[in-house]
Structure 1
Amino acid sequence: MSMSWADVRFMLERMRGLVRRGLASLRTRGLGPTWARVRRQFARRVLPASAPLHVPAAAPFAPFAVPANDAPRASIVIPVYNQAAYTLACLRALAEYPPAATCEILVVDDGSSDETGEWMPQIAGLRYHRRPANGGFIAACNDGAALANGAHLVFLNNDTVPQPGWLDALLDTFGAHPDAGLVGAQLIYPDGRLQEAGGVVFDDGSAWNYGRFDSPDDPRYASLRDAAYCSGAAVAVPTPLFRELGGFDTRYAPAYYEDTDLAFAVRARGLRVLYQPASRVVHLEGITSGTDTASGTKAYQVRNRGVFAEKWREALARQPRAGTVPTAGSVVRPRRQILVVDAETPRPLHDSASLRLVNLMRMLVEDGAHVVFLPADLHHAGDDTARLRRHGIEAWHAPFAARASAWLREHGHRFDVVMLSRHYVAAEFLPLVRRFAPQAKVVFDTVDLHFLRERRGAELAGDAGLERAAERTRDRELTLIRQADATLVVSPVERDMLAGLLPDACVEVVANLHEVADSGLPFGQRHDLVFVGGFRHPPNVDAVRWFGGEVFPLIRARQPGIRFHCIGMAPTAEVLALQSQPGIVVHGHVAELEPYMAGARIALAPLRFGAGVKGKVNLSMAHGQPVVATSCAIEGMHLTDGHDVLVADDAAGFAEAVLRLYADAALWQRLADNGRENITRHFSMDAARDTVRRVFLH
């Protein structure tokens, strides 16, 4: 493929940016941390290996037990007609990896003449129902639904092998998405290829198994997504809803198009039909009815297409035109499509900028947009990539996105809006976006004004070289703001500053986004002090060094039992050295912050330079944990000393504020309550919703 000028500009800007950031890192972090960043930047991109497909070992029949419960959350209905060996494999898979959710399993025998009638009664826990005569798939499913006791019905073909975790993933989707009416699994061929990632229905009633024969790990098929229908081989639906709809429509008897019809009926009730790739089911397609549409039961597929098209004529007029090939963009239309690009996949358990970005994308999804995320480093980020997909965000990575330019050339036409986060990412990607997505509105998310943070750090260090670097960053950021259609900042202070510098620019405030959490333990059961912040961020390193070296000894002299818990990824050697002081514990990254949010008495934000709003302050206040901070740490956060925070900028004053708050239960409670109210008013998702809609959805 030929290389365009946009490709060349992208590579040149990336090289220049890497050099600039590397030199700046050397000056502020030193050689060791900088080398670690370089290694991370150029690390080989390795796609995590998918879990091997589980297939029960073939063995002669012997009695065994399947999960059973008298008050099940789910009733798994398995219609069968002969093929006892396949039914046995399906049940063995359910027995070998029982779900966490309570369930019952009903096998509905539609008049089998093989070993089914002999084997099924010997399986402990199984509810076995034999119909008096063969009536077909729809009749068997409806009979099973009538007998079910579960809150949800899960229809499962007997020629399937459900993979570990499949049922819990289906059911959890209803909890995470209360507007879901039907959820379908990812269907996989026994050789590991994808069989179906939700179905597409065309305007003439014909259908398409989206993703057929592709990789199940392809980002196009790996995220939660609305689908026109999901194959009845493995679908879940609330039991009351299924019964209200009258079950599977018998006009399609004995089989075919009943699952597509159910999906359309669910959507007609104002509920969503969702494809859930975290629920993986191996399906031996065609075992029961074959694949020849000219004969046998399979012939009903052709007949019932006409029946379906007549019933849903109005709804089908809004479906894609027959003969078009479904693409990643077309299967989510007419939803507004938004591309978000950041340096790497956000890690909301590690830093506040990541939490803000994830919550921003969640808001857009909740408001009906389809969000696509592309990390500039193209790395698969393990659980963090999976987290985005669970939220319904289409998250890409190598090798499926091998080069940013080639990916944008293929996908750029999809997007109504493109958001570029951080000035060095925006500088690289903006020419590509203007070339390959000229129709898209470009939003520049500053995350925070980097030049402001750099300038303050240079002033504190008295480093003229850093001051010059900060001015170069300022020029780049202001240029990008001029070129973008809209710019996001995180505080009114930054918006007002830009209004003076660039009065014609469209600048909006989207601050940190938090959900108010449980308030944790009461004052009397809390102990110690806590700081949370990643140490790849120089202001955090400076803050902890200053507090540990100058402030904490003053506190410890008057309260010898107090400990200072320092939490954050990649602590530097200087930070780790603080542990030589009594009472200081450097934890590094912790898997769970909750115990420290719920159990530490005071959170600290002793920042001496920085920009934007501080996630560590928001995080603690959202948990009802009072904060002692510097003026820099609360800039633009609508906080008032003595009302919802205590503020001090010198060592003696900071120590005095900590000691005062540590001993005063009434003051502690007042700050805790008012801090939570501040989050609700200024930093909740609801507080930002109008701005987000104005920027992205209008």
Structure 2
Amino acid sequence: MSMSWADVRFMLERARGLVRRGLASLRTRGLGPTWARVRRQFARHVPPISTPLYLPADLPFAPFAVPAGQAPRASIIIPVYNQAACTLACLRALADHPPAASCEIIVVDDGSTDDTGEWMPQVAGLRYHRRSANGGFIAACNDGAALATGDCLVFLNNDTIPQPGWLDALLATFDTQAGIGLVGAQLVYPDGRLQEAGGVVFDDGSAWNYGRFDSPDDPRYASLRDADYCSGAAIAIPARLFHALGGFDTRYSPAYYEDTDLAFAVRAYGLRVVCQPASRVVHLEGVTSGTDTGSGTKAYQVRNRGVFAAKWKDALVQQPRAGSLPSAGSVVRPRRQVLIIDAETPRPHHDSASLRLVNLMRMLVDEGVHVVFLPADLRQVEGDTARLRRHGVEAWHAPFATRPSAWLREHGPRFDVVMLSRHYVAAEFLPLVRRFAPQARVVFDTVDLHFLRELRGAELSGDAGLRRAAERTRDRELALMRQADATLVVSPAERELLSTLLPATEVEVLPNLHELADTGLPFGQRKDLVFVGGFRHPPNVDAVLWFGREIFPRIQARRPDIRFHCIGMAPPADVRALQVQPGILVHGHVADIGCYMDGARIALAPLRFGAGVKGKVNLSMAHGQPVVATSCAIEGMHLTHGHDVLVADDADAFAEAVLRLYDDAELWGTLSEHGRDNIARHFSLDAARDTVRRIFQR
């Protein structure tokens, strides 16, 4: 593909930004850490490898057992008519990879004449029901639903091979998403190609298997998404809802369009129909009924389209025009579409900025917005990319997204709002967004004011070169704010500063976003001190070195039993060297910090420079863990010394504050309670909801 001027301009801006950030990193971090960052930036993109499909061995029948719970949450209903070998493979898959959820498996035999009647009674744990006469797919499914005892009905074709985790992913959707009435699995062919990721229904009643023959890992199909219908080959629906809707409508007997009709009925009931790609099922399409719509049972597909169109004629007026080609943008209309671009995929267990961004995207999804995320580095991050998709975020990465300009040329017209995070990302992408998404409102998310942090670091070090670099950063950030339609900052203090620098610019405060956690252990069962913060952030390095070298020795001299736990990704050598001092433990990255939030007595925030709102302070307060901090660390957080937090700015005072709080149970309880109240008032998702609506949905 030829290079355009947009590509050249983007690459030049990215190159300038990399050089600027590299020089700044050399000054603040040194050669070793900077080289590590360079290697990470230019590492080769490795295409994602889809989980290999599980296919059971084709062995002669022998008795075996399937999962059978006493009080099942889910009833898996498998209607069958002959094709005993297919049913056997399906049951073996369920037996080889049993779900975590309690379930029962019901096979409804619709008058089979092959080995089905001989084999099924020999499968331990299986509920086998043989109908007196052949009545068709719909009759068999409704019979199975009448026999089921689970809270959730899961209809599964016998020509399927459910993949490990499929059922738990379906059921988890009801637990984590609001207003869900029906969930369908992502269906794939045995060769790994996609068969369907939710279906599209057109205004004449015809339907389209969205994503057919594409890669199931393509971001267009790999995230939780509302669908017009989901194929009845693998769907889950609450039992009460299914019965309230009258089950599968018998006017479509013996089969076809009953699943589409059920999905429309669920939506008419006021609930959502979604496709859950985390649930993957191999479907041997057409094994039972074939694929020829001109003969046999398959011919009912043509007849029932007219039945469906007549029943739902009023709803079909809102569907896309027949013959139009569904696209990533059109299948989510009329929902508002928001694109968010950040330097990399957020990792909420690593840093507060990532947690803020993930919670923002969750809020937008909950508000009915379709969110698309594009990382500037185009990398998929194992676990974190999948987590976004489970929340309903359409998360992109290489090799499905290659050049940013090409991707924006294709997708730009679909967006109502584009949010660009961090000044160096905004500098690269803003010209592309203005060109390829001119209709979109552009929001510049500063994350924190980089120039303010750099200026404070320069003042602390007395480095004139750092000060000049910080002033250049200031000029770039302010220029981007003038070009954007709105700017986000994380604290009222930063908004007040910008009101004097750019009085005509729209600036909104979107703080760190946290959910209140359990309060953990009581005062008497807690011990030690903890600091949490990534060490790619220079203020954190300075904070820990200052505390470890100047403050902790004062504490140790009076209380040698107290230990200091230092947690954060990529601690540099001088931070790791603090461990030579008794009582200091440098853990590096800890995947689950819950035991430190729930068990450490005091959290520390000894930052001497920085900007924005400190996630480490929010995180501890959300857990009911009191904090001792500097004035810089609590800036813009609505905190008062002695009421919500203890504040000290020199080594002696900081040590005294720690020792006082460590032994004062009453003060500890007061700060714990008030800190949680502060999070609920100022940093919870509910507290930010009106601001989010104003920024993204007006």
Query: Shorter-chain-normalised TM-score: which range?
Result: over 0.9
Asked if 1:384 is matched to 2:373, the reply is no
What pairs with 1:490-569 in structure 2 (closer than 5 Å)? 490-569=490-569
Asked if 1:124 is matched to 2:124, the reply is yes
Structure 2 residue identity aligned to 1:550? E
Partner of 1:233: 233
Shift of 1:384: 0.7
CA distance in 1, matches of 2:175, 2:272: 13
Shift of 1:70: 2.1
Structure 2 residue identity aligned to 1:668? W
CA distance in 2, matches of 1:440, 1:208: 29
- Pick which of 534-543 and 380-389 moved more: 380-389
Shift of 1:248: 0.1
Partner of 1:144: 144
CA distance in 1, matches of 2:688, 2:118: 62
Report if aligned partners of 2:106, 2:129 keep a CA contact under 8 Å in 1. Answer: yes
Shift of 1:22: 0.2
Deviations 1:587-635 (A, max 9, x none): 0000101000000000000000000000000000000000000000000
Partner of 2:87: 87
CA distance in 1, matches of 2:4, 2:440: 20
Asked if 1:286 is matched to 2:286, the reply is yes
CA distance in 2, matches of 1:318, 1:178: 23
Deviations 1:517-547 (A, max 9, x none): 0000000000000000000000000000000
Partner of 2:630: 630
Deviations 1:424-465 (A, max 9, x none): 000000000000000000000000000000000000000000
Deviations 1:41-61 (A, max 9, x none): 111111332221111101111
Partner of 1:468: 468
CA distance in 2, matches of 1:616, 1:399: 35
Deviations 1:547-582 (A, max 9, x none): 000000000101000000000000001100000000
CA distance in 2, matches of 1:607, 1:80: 66
Deviations 1:643-688 (A, max 9, x none): 0000000000000000000000000000000000000000001111
Structure 2 residue identity aligned to 1:20? R
Partner of 1:66: 66
Asked if 1:243 is matched to 2:233, the reply is no
Partner of 2:317: 317
Q: Once the two structures are aligned, what percentage of the paired residues are identical?
A: 83
Normalising by structure 1, we get a TM-score of 1.00
Shift of 1:9: 1.4
Structure 2 residue identity aligned to 1:531? F
What pairs with 1:345-364 in structure 2 (closer than 5 Å)? 345-364=345-364
* Aligned-partner SS, 1:676: helix
* Aligned-partner SS, 1:221: coil
Structure 2 residue identity aligned to 1:319? Q
CA distance in 1, matches of 2:682, 2:99: 41
Partner of 2:255: 255
CA distance in 2, matches of 1:399, 1:47: 6
* Aligned-partner SS, 1:279: strand
Unpaired runs of 5+ residues, structure 1, are none
Shift of 1:228: 0.4
CA distance in 2, matches of 1:338, 1:594: 33
Shift of 1:69: 1.4
Shift of 1:20: 0.3
Asked if 1:616 is matched to 2:627, the reply is no
Deviations 1:333-381 (A, max 9, x none): 0000000000000000000000000000110000000000000000011
Partner of 1:457: 457
Partner of 1:222: 222
Unpaired runs of 5+ residues, structure 2, are none
Partner of 1:295: 295
CA distance in 2, matches of 1:447, 1:232: 44
Asked if 1:664 is matched to 2:691, the reply is no
* Aligned-partner SS, 1:219: coil
CA distance in 2, matches of 1:254, 1:144: 15
CA distance in 2, matches of 1:46, 1:602: 42
Partner of 2:274: 274
Partner of 1:484: 484
CA distance in 1, matches of 2:460, 2:661: 28
Partner of 1:440: 440
Partner of 1:654: 654
* Aligned-partner SS, 1:591: coil
CA distance in 2, matches of 1:32, 1:214: 43
Partner of 1:397: 397
- Structure 1 runs (4+) deviating above 6 angstroms are none
Structure 1 residue identity aligned to 2:404? A
What RMSD in Å do the two structures reach over aligned CA positions?
Answer: 0.5
Report if aligned partners of 2:178, 2:366 keep a CA contact under 8 Å in 1. Answer: no
Structure 1 residue identity aligned to 2:600? A
CA distance in 1, matches of 2:275, 2:546: 51
Partner of 2:187: 187
Asked if 1:588 is matched to 2:609, the reply is no
CA distance in 2, matches of 1:43, 1:259: 46
